[in-house]
Amino acid sequence: MEEVVVGVVPAPELPATIARKLSLSLEKKLTEYIDDEVCWKVEIEIDSLTGAAEKVKEIMDEAKKLKEKNDWNYVICLTDLPIFNGKFIVLADADVEAKIAQISLPAFGTLPTPKRVRKTLVHMVKKIIFSPYQHG
């Protein structure tokens, strides 16, 4: 059975706490909602840049480096920084060609629950995998 590795890269503190809570159930949810014909593995690497970068691009660039270094198939960053599109806060952003995404915890409100973050994380992995840009 093929192994597919998702690297979850949280910022320290709250994002890291949420990522740790998700790690056990996330593999099961990826199997359930995306593909039960592969062995899903989730690896967590806390990275301070994910919580300190001034620009979204810096986080995505760091995610690309970590993906290559760790030989991950996909990377999802959890940041405690807001992501903006113009003047609106965005829940998540993805680079489907690079197979990376980031989720902004402030978009969930004052108390982001692990369940809601997990659901969004699974959705972002699904978006990256099934993007029409991946198969063109």
- For 82, residues 6+ apart whose C-beta sits below 8 A from its C-beta are 89, 104, 106, 107
pTM for this one? 0.91
State pLDDT tens for residues 36-60.
999 999 999 999 877 766 677 888 8
Pick the CATH number of 3-134 from 3.40.390.10, 3.30.950.10, 3.40.1010.10, 3.40.50.1820: 3.40.390.10
DSSP 21: H
Is the predicted pLDDT of residue 8 greater than 90, yes or no? yes
- pLDDT, averaged across the chain: 89
